[in-house]
């Protein structure tokens, strides 16, 4: 199968995951994603993506296993201690100095996995502020896309090994022992709030003083990282004097986002938000009726009827992000029903299809002007396309306080198609002019080469950063695999110890028998030969192990045992006994009673015969 066909099948798998479970992995770095999916397929002995899709459709529990494999939850308390020391000594002190004594502090731990990072932040601020002030002033929000990891984080229960990076004094102050595990103290646990959040699709938590996102962004490609950084910038304080800080992992940099964040310490990956001119968050809606308010209210139905009958689709969203109004054209175009009015815009499909409205609304508020996104494409299942100019206009009252936004969808499908036809015409003309332009292009070659050299240097720098992120990703994958292998090794060691104790017990029991005991398999090869058998016939256990019983040269006429052994093996008899003339190891003639019983396993399958040999007085 060609590489192109493989890529197409992998894309279909990603589309299936998004449609069936809402997980969008298209923004993840492809090499890491391919490795993690291949690992699950290898464990299931599947070699085709389509076969894996069929497996997912039948075995719903496999979704959880796949997501746990892709969302690598490698974390620890105070990971990379020097960076945490810098955060405590430099960043936290600046943050607290800029806040009023009783002001609330909001912290977001994005990609918190099983919660160690969020609880590290809680301990850090409790040590700085004191436990009482920590409870009253600080909220730590821990989010992740992995629901199973969040369940573990909410339990706040960790093993001794998981607390290896925490000082003994901190463990004593902030953890309580319970059933051999350590549980984070309940009074501070209430200051840490966990919830599921997808950095790619969900709106960010806002009004943050500190945002911690360590070794999470390195799993996303550059385009997705750029969108996430823009959201992080919006989420942080910093527009009105309160500082907003970003704490990244050691493999993550902000090479192309210097206009959003300024480095405080590159070595420890700590950055401060760079305020954007003119950006302000909209204040909450406050309604004040003027002298003409009653008249306006009487004419409200007329205005609503006029808006509803408008041939242009329009919706109105208030400053809290709630859909207030959608006219008839909008309801028909975007399948909005009466129940949707009054719901949060982010919960409705129109918030992200045909375009991402929330970012346009934020821009309109920030720039206090109408924002237009032209030629937004909307595709239908039958292949048809529709185009809109999306116009987002902020609504202000007489005091210039924002009340919300009006979003208008102008259908420009006809003009877009005309534009496509014009574009094709231009391309034909362009083709005819290519020969004329070639001379000019030759003159510009020198300048382009210089520019290309500069771009190559920038590309090399970005490639080095990408390689560093990829190596760190592989390192975390190896760490995760190593932890799994250690767990398996511990289980195997425990089973080996149990088996050794069982063997020793069995050898003790068999060795204590007064009769000579011999165990043979279905081929009549000797499996066990006890000490009494050695004393009776003069052969050691290591001399007979694995040899056929009927081929042994001992004082017992073993050939005469064939008639009693076969029925035992075939299940025709449960117990056989015979008395034979024999010669013991000292050369003395004896009478030997031989008793045989089948060796039956718990599943009732016969796996051999147990022979007991006992010298009988003449």
Q: What is the pLDDT of residue 462?
A: 66
- Supply the DSSP string of 119-139, one letter for each residue: HHHHHHHHHHH-HHHHHHHEE
Strand, helix or coil for residue 33: helix
pLDDT of 284 > 50? The answer is no
In the DSSP assignment, the letter for residue 89 is I
Q: How far is CA 21 from CA 53, 281, 455, 587, 602, in A?
A: 13, 33, 40, 81, 44
What does DSSP say about strands 210-213 and 105-110: parallel, antiparallel, or unpaired?
parallel
Report how far Cα 77 is from the mean position of its chain's Cα atoms.
Answer: 18
Backbone angles phi, psi at 412, to 5 degrees: -115, 30
Q: Where in the chain is the domain with CATH 1.10.155.10?
A: 3-70
Residue range(s) occupied by CATH 3.30.450.20 in the chain: 301-415, 513-616
Residue 338: predicted pLDDT: 79
Q: What CATH number matches the domain at 3-70, 3.50.50.60, 1.10.155.10, 3.40.640.10, 1.10.3720.10? A: 1.10.155.10
Per-residue pLDDT at 291: 40
Spell out the CATH class of 513-616: alpha beta
Is the CB of residue 392 less than 8 Å from the CB of residue 414? Answer: no
Give the whole-angstrom CA distance, residue 610 versus residue 49.
Answer: 52
How far is CA 552 from each of CA 52, 54, 171, 308, 557, rounded to the nearest angstrom?
56, 58, 67, 103, 9
Per DSSP, the residues of 277-290 read TT--PPPPP-----
H/E stretch holding 387: strand 385-396
Instruction: Give the per-residue pLDDT at 308.
Output: 65
Which of 281, 219, 217 has the alpha carbon at shortest distance from 248? 217
pLDDT range class, residue 349, cuts 50, 70, 90 = confident
**What rounded mean pLDDT belongs to the chain?**
84
Q: Look up the pTM and report it.
A: 0.53
Contacts of 56 (CB under 8 A, 6+ apart): 16, 20, 62, 63, 66
d(CA 48, CA 65): 18
> Comparing 358 with 119, which gets the higher pLDDT?
119
pLDDT band at 125 (very low <50, low <70, confident <90, very high): very high
Burial profile 517-545: b = 16 or more Cβ within 10 angstroms, e = fewer: bbbbeeebbbbbbbbbbbebbebeeeebe
E strand or H helix that includes residue 597: strand 589-600
Stretch 610-618: mean pLDDT, rounded? Answer: 84
Q: What confidence score (pLDDT) does residue 452 get?
A: 64
Q: What are phi and psi of 473, to 5 degrees?
A: -60, -45
Render pLDDT for 33-65 as a digit per residue (tens, 0 to 9): 888 899 889 989 988 899 999 999 999 888 888
Q: Find the mean pLDDT for residues 113-142.
A: 94
Query: Could you read off the pLDDT of 510-551 as tens digits, one per residue?
Result: 766 778 999 999 899 999 898 889 888 989 989 998 999 988
pLDDT computed for residue 294 by the predictor: 45
CA distance 266 to 231: 21
Q: Choose among 43, 47, 51, 46: nearest CA to 68.
A: 43
Q: What is the pLDDT of residues 288-331, one digit of tens each?
A: 434 444 444 445 555 556 666 678 889 999 988 999 888 888 88
Interacting residues of 445 by C-beta distance below 8 A, sequence separation 6+: none
Sign (positive or negative) of CA dihedral 503, 504, 505, 507: positive
3-class state of residue 118 by DSSP = helix
Question: Residue 285: what pLDDT?
Answer: 34
In whole angstroms, give the CA distance from residue 532 to residue 515. Answer: 6
| HEC per residue, 475-502 | HHHHHHHHHHHHHHHHHHHHHHHHHHHH
* pLDDT tens digits, 220-278: 888 888 889 888 998 998 766 678 999 998 877 766 666 889 899 988 999 999 887 64
Whether 438 shows a pLDDT value over 80: the answer reads no
Q: Is 192 left (phi over 0), alpha (psi -120 to 50) or beta?
A: beta
Superfamily grouping for domain 301-415: PAS domain (3.30.450.20)
Radius of gyration of the chain (CA): 38
* Cα atoms in the Cβ-side hemisphere of radius 13 Å centred on 486: 7
Q: Which CATH superfamily is domain 81-273 in?
A: Vaccinia Virus protein VP39 (3.40.50.150)
Give percent of the chain above pLDDT 70. Answer: 89
Task: Report the SS3 class of residue 183.
Answer: strand
Quote the pLDDT of residue 293. 42
Where does the chain hold its CATH 3.40.50.150 domain(s)? 81-273
pLDDT tens profile 443-493: 777 676 777 666 667 666 666 766 777 777 777 777 777 878 888 888 888
Are 104 and 193 in contact, with CB atoms under 8 Å apart?
no
Length of the chain: 618
pLDDT at 78 over 90: yes
Phi, psi (degrees; rounded to nearest 5) at 429: -65, -40
What's the pLDDT at 83? 93
Per-residue pLDDT of 164-189, as tens digits, reads 889 999 999 999 998 889 999 999 99
How distant, in Å, are the alpha carbons of 506, 512, 516, 594 from that of 613? 18, 14, 5, 5
Q: What angle do CA 385, 10, 387 make, to 5 degrees?
A: 10
* pLDDT recorded at residue 1: 64
């Amino acid at each position: 199968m060609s590489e192109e066909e493989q890529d197409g099948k992998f894309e279909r798998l990603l589309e299936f995951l998004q449609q069936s479970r809402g997980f969008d992995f298209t923004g993840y770095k492809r090499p890491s994603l391919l490795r993690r999916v291949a690992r699950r397929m290898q464990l299931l002995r599947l070699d085709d993506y389509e076969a894996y899709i069929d497996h997912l459709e039948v075995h719903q529990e496999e979704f959880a296993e796949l997501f746990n494999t892709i969302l690598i939850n490698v974390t620890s308390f105070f990971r990379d201690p020097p960076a945490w020391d810098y955060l405590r000594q430099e960043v936290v002190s600046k943050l607290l100095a800029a806040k009023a004594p009783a002001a609330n502090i909001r912290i977001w731990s994005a990609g918190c996995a099983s919660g160690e990072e969020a609880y590290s932040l809680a301990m850090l601020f409790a040590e700085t502020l004191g436990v009482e002030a920590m409870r009253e002033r600080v909220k730590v929000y821990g989010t992740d896309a992995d629901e199973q990891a969040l369940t573990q984080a909410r339990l706040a229960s960790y093993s001794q090994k998981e607390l290896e990076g925490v000082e003994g004094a901190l463990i004593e102050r902030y953890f309580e022992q319970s059933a051999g595990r350590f549980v984070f103290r309940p009074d501070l646990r209430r200051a840490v709030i966990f919830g599921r959040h997808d950095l790619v699709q969900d709106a960010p938590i806002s009004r943050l003083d500190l945002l911690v996102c360590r070794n999470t962004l390195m799993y996303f490609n550059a385009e997705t990282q750029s969108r996430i950084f823009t959201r992080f910038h919006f989420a942080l304080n910093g527009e009105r004097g309160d500082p907003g800080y970003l704490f990244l992992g050691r493999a993550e940099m902000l090479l192309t986002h210097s206009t959003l964040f300024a480095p405080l310490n590159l070595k420890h990956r700590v950055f401060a938000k760079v305020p954007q001119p003119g950006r302000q968050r909209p204040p909450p809606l406050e309604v004040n009726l003027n002298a003409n308010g009653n008249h306006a209210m009487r004419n409200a139905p007329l205005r609503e009827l006029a808006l509803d009958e408008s041939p242009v689709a329009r919706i109105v969203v208030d400053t809290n992000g709630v859909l207030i109004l959608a006219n008839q054209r909008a309801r028909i175009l975007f399948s909005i029903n009466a129940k949707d009015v009054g719901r949060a815009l982010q919960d409705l499909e129109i918030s992200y299809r045909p375009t991402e409205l929330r970012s346009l609304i934020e821009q309109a508020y920030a720039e206090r002007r109408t924002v237009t996104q032209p030629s937004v494409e909307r595709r239908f299942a039958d292949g048809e396309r529709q185009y809109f100019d999306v116009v987002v206009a902020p609504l202000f009252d007489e005091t210039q306080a924002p009340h919300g936004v009006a979003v208008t969808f102008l259908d420009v499908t006809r003009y877009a198609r005309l534009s496509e036809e014009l574009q094709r015409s231009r391309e034909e003309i362009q083709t005819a002019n290519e020969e004329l332009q070639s001379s000019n292009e030759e003159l510009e070659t020198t300048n382009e080469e210089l520019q290309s050299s500069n771009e190559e240097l920038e590309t090399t720098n970005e490639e080095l950063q990408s390689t560093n992120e990829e190596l760190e990703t592989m390192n975390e994958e190896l760490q995760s695999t190593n932890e799994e292998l250690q767990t398996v090794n511990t289980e195997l060691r425990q089973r080996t110890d149990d088996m050794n104790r069982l063997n020793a017990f069995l050898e003790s029991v068999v060795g204590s028998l007064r009769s000579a005991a011999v165990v043979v398999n279905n081929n009549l090869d000797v499996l066990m030969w006890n000490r009494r058998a050695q004393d009776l016939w003069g052969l050691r256990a290591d001399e007979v192990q694995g040899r056929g019983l009927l081929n042994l040269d001992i004082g017992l006429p073993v050939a005469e045992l064939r008639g009693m052994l076969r029925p035992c093996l075939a299940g025709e008899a449960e117990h056989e006994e015979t008395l034979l003339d024999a010669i013991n190891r000292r050369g003395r003639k004896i009478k030997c009673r031989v008793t045989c019983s089948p060796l039956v396993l718990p599943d009732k399958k016969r796996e051999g015969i147990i022979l007991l040999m006992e010298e009988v007085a003449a």
